[in-house]
Amino acid sequence: MKFTSTNSLLRSSALVILASAALYGCKDFLQNAAEPQGSLNASTLATKAGVEGSLVATYRTLDCTDATSADWGCAVSNWVFGSVASDDSYKGSDGLDQPPINDIEGYHWGSASAEHYLNTKWTQVYEGVVRANSTIRLLRQVVAASPTEISIVDQHGIEGEATFLRAHYHFEAYRMWGNIPYYREDDTDFRKANEDTTAVIADIIKDLDAAIALLPTTPRNGQKGRATVWTAKAYKGRVQMYDHQYANAVTTFTDVVNNGPFRLETSFDRVWSAYPDAQNGPETIFAYQASSQDGEPNAANANWGERLNFPYAPSHFQCCGFDPPSINLANFFQVDAAGLPLALSSPGTWNSNNGAFVAGNMAPVDPRLDWTIGRDGVPFKDWGLYSITWVRDQANGGPYMPKKIIHEKGSGQEATVGWQPQQQSSINIHIYRYADLLLMLAEADVETGNLAGALALVNQIRTRAGVTAQGPGNTRADMAIPINDPRITWATYRIGLYPSFPSAAYAREAVRMERRLELAMEGQRLFDLRRYGMTYAKAVINGYLTGTGAAPWGSNGGREDTRRTYKTSAEAFADRHRLYAIPQEQIDLSKIGTDNRLAQNTGW
């Protein structure tokens, strides 16, 4: 985890110990501590440096490491729970590797195997809550003992950042399980009952409002990656959208758009990039700050949660072939003569291609396809031509591999230590970015009757998407080039603007399609589908699996249970899939006498 500024680089490369767990802290803290490394105690922590180290540790648990988890249920990108469990991607690899993901992909969320991953996620988010609350308690302890040690400005900033992070971790739990316990710094017993979703939303917004009142307008200490008042305001709008508070979300988002510091990157290739000059750009609202060359002996502060999702041998990356994009997703990037989604204008045929969409197939596509998906014969950023032989098991994973999280060869950010260091880099993992916000605002505009506003926002996103396409990639300069550049011989790129949104129904579907195109493989898809409502989510997921239902999501020309035959064992997506199953281990831990304080979600 790193915080960056123009003049300094603060990296988490040492251990800070809180009452609850061993936590990553700040290198400066250990260098300046009164006792040797490894012998921190309560009095050592009860300093400004200790409080700051505790706060950095709270950020650090946004992603997991091999020291905190044996699996990838805690990946910051939610690739298992948001992408593999949707129509965006498959588990990949082979059937015997990480078997709990098989049950997540197959919607068997109540199985003991699935619980393993679900428990990892639960543990991660509540570890973040524990660290946030520990930071606030430690801050108050230090201020009470030595009122002048930490300035008022820093007191507010530290508490604001910790409160924001507490809201974020609870929101992650809410998106997974809905009915969850909510913990604040004065709670003394972890065996709390679930709140219902209405109460959880109210508590998250209460924390975000508290953070907004405390946080500065720019990152504290000039270190990008820290939460600011604008981070918290943008996040509040996101929470309001999940609660269908559309009018409130319009108000919140409009303030951020008109007065905040965020804007779209100049071109799509800069959104997911390991180049230092593209990290923490204007589009970043909140991201995990990965760090691959900071002295950590296993590069554990890098993009550890995503490290499985790289091409297999004989590629440079050698392993491990997880999270490959689905045939359905690749087909979805096709466009019509106007450069608009083919799924919108030809809902019965857009998904009819059952094989690999390879170089030389000149059916027009949105240029975001080749920033999102590795395709046979198409340049893979600057690593040469992607080959279908890089797939570990095509029967299990199909012909593609993910591309956004892949660092550029020329960035110099690849790790040099640890297991398979070629998978590790300093590419930041977006948790929330400005294009996501703009499309949520467009969605809220549709639901409040402002179709013109929604149209302008969607076209703004599409205009940016048309700036560059994947180029030959021999150098950085020719990796991202104009979409009509004659050097592009592997695809026909085309993207158009919507002339109008003639109805709310049309606009609603156009916005939802745009979110899939823009945010594909970013761990958002299943959460979006469930947020749209279970009638819609069931139509999309069951249409994806079996090709049944109304177009464009069913009866669209293809079905995944024939493309990947293992999907014939998947459950039908049903009402109980509105929420994940709460891990039984956590329910057992909540027991007081014979009473389970945590109640299982309906259907599990």
Confidence at 33, pLDDT banded by 50, 70, 90: very low
* Domain that includes residue 488, residue range: 304-569
SS3 79: helix
The DSSP result for 346-391, as a single string, is -TTTTT---S---TT--S-B-TTHHHHEE-TTSB-TTS-B--GGG-
Is residue 366 in a domain? yes
Report the Cα 261 to chain-centroid distance in Å.
21
pLDDT of the residue at 252: 98
Give me the mean pLDDT over the 113-124 stretch. Answer: 96
Q: What is the C-alpha separation between 436 and 256, in angstroms, rounded?
A: 13
- Evaluate if residue 69 carries a pLDDT over 90: no
Is residue 129 in a domain? no
Q: What does the pLDDT look like over 527-549, one tens digit per residue?
A: 999 999 999 999 999 999 999 99
Q: What is the C-alpha separation between 368 and 522, in angstroms, rounded?
A: 13
- Evaluate if residue 11 carries a pLDDT over 60: no
Is residue 287 in a domain? no
The number of domains in the chain is: 2
- For the chain, the residue count is 604
Is residue 329 in a domain? yes
Q: 36-40, 113-117, 293-297 — which one is most confidently predicted on average?
A: 113-117
Mean pLDDT lowest among 42-51, 114-123, 305-314 = 42-51
Q: What does the pLDDT look like over 382-415, one tens digit per residue?
A: 999 999 999 999 999 999 999 999 999 999 999 9
- Evaluate if residue 216 carries a pLDDT over 50: yes
Give me the mean pLDDT over the 334-361 stretch. Answer: 97
Q: Which helix (H) or strand (E) holds 591?
A: strand 591-592
The answer to whether 95 and 396 are in contact (CB under 8 A) is yes
Token pair for residue 88?
A: 């965006």
Of 501, 466, 278, the C-alpha closest to 368 is: 466
The answer to whether 64 and 304 are in contact (CB under 8 A) is yes
* Between 135 and 35, residue with greater pLDDT: 135
Q: What does the pLDDT look like over 450-467, one tens digit per residue?
A: 999 999 999 999 999 999
Token pair for residue 543?
A: 């249409």
pLDDT of the residue at 4: 59
Give yes or no for a cis peptide into 314 (omega within 30° of 0). yes
Is residue 188 in a domain? no
The DSSP result for 167-201, as a single string, is HHHHHHHHHHHSS-----TT---S-PPPPPHHHHH
- Evaluate if residue 360 carries a pLDDT over 90: yes
CATH number, domain containing residue 418: 1.25.40.390
Confidence at 22, pLDDT banded by 50, 70, 90: very low
Is residue 355 in a domain? yes
DSSP 304: G
Q: What is the C-alpha separation between 299 and 507, in angstroms, rounded?
A: 45
Burial class (CB in 10 A: 0-12, 13-18, 19+), 353: middle
Confidence at 268, pLDDT banded by 50, 70, 90: very high
Half-sphere exposure of 50 (CA within 13 A, CB side): 24
The answer to whether 581 and 118 are in contact (CB under 8 A) is yes
- Evaluate if residue 207 carries a pLDDT over 60: yes
Of 41, 60, 79, the domain-final residue? 60
Of 166, 175, 253, the C-alpha closest to 208 is: 166
pLDDT of the residue at 43: 72
pTM of structure: 0.94
